[in-house]
Structure 1
Amino acid sequence: MSDSDLIKLYSQRILALAADIPHLGTLEAPDGHANKRAPLCGSTISVDVKLADGRITDFAQNVKACALGQAAASVVGANIIGRTRDQIQTARDQLKAMLRDDGPVPDTPFDGLEVLIPARAYANRHGSILLSLEATLAAIDDATKA
């Protein structure tokens, strides 16, 4: 990877998002919790959720990831309250298609993930970028398991 590729990949917008991640920390008595790790790069995210009527009412995340994973967690954290599992799964699937298959940007409210389009060429970063949505899905599953 050349220096100009790195500069493009870690744009000012990505770095600004990474520096301002909403809902950092943990929840007291969450309904669900999950830890996820991207094996290729070692990034990790833990997520706590509270649910009511199938929607996220409170959310917290601990993010130990590269700037790309942090930027994705920032966009997710800013838009996660009030969302359903189906909406989050759709966003995850759309983000995965955007990165791997040159698919379109995820639907609103997760369309801010478009900032990560330059990461398409760096498959080793895709796992970190997907972590926040995947950990949120796992935390919802933990909260709703019978």
Structure 2
Amino acid sequence: MADSDLIKLYSARILALAADIPDLRRLDAPDATVKRRSPLCGSTVTVDVRVTDGKLSEIGQDVKACALGQAAAAVTAAAAKGQTLETIERGRDQLKAMLKGKGGVPDAPFDGFEVLKPAVEYKNRHASILLSIEAMAQAMADARETSS
């Protein structure tokens, strides 16, 4: 990877997101908790959720990831609050498609993932980018199962 590629990949916007992750805390008595780890790089994300009337009402995150994983966690938390499981799953699926080069930027509210478009070329970073939204979707699904 050339220096110019690194600069493009770790843009100022990505670094700013990574430095300001919303809901960076653990919740007491969450409805569900999911921990995900990327075996390739060792990044981990733990997500706690509370769900009210089928919508994500409160989030807690513990993020130990590279700047790209941290930026993705910031976008996920900001976009997911107030959303249903279906909306979060759609954002996750659209992000996966974007990273594989088979889709555009995810629809709102997950359009903030546009900042990670330069990472499409770096497959070894995709798992870290997906950690937070995958954990969020799984935690929402687990919370739905528990409440049924």
Q: Shorter-chain TM-score: which interval?
A: over 0.9
Matched, 1:21 2:13: no
Q: Which consecutive segments of 4 or more residues in structure 1 shift more than 4 A?
A: none
CA distance in 1: counterparts of 2:120 and 2:53, whole angstroms = 36
Letter of the structure 2 residue corresponding to residue 135 of structure 1? A
Is 1:88 aligned with 2:85? no
Query: 1:40-87 deviations in whole A, cap 9, x for unaligned?
Result: 111100000001111111011110111001001111111221111100
Alpha-carbon distance in 2 for matches of 1:104, 1:24: 28
Code of the aligned partner of 1:67? A
Report the identity percentage. 61
Unaligned runs of 5+ residues in structure 1 are: none
Which stretches in structure 2 are left out of the alignment for 5+ residues?
none
* Distance in 1 between residues matched to 2:102 and 2:145, nearest whole Å: 34
How many pairs align? Answer: 146
User: Is the Cα contact below 8 Å between 1:102 and 1:120 reproduced in 2?
Assistant: no
Two-structure CA RMSD over aligned residues (Å) = 0.9
Contact 1:75-1:110 within 8 A present in 2 as well: yes
Letter in 1 for 2:119: A
How many angstroms apart in 2 are the aligned matches of 1:102 and 1:140? 26
TM-score (norm. length: structure 1): 0.97
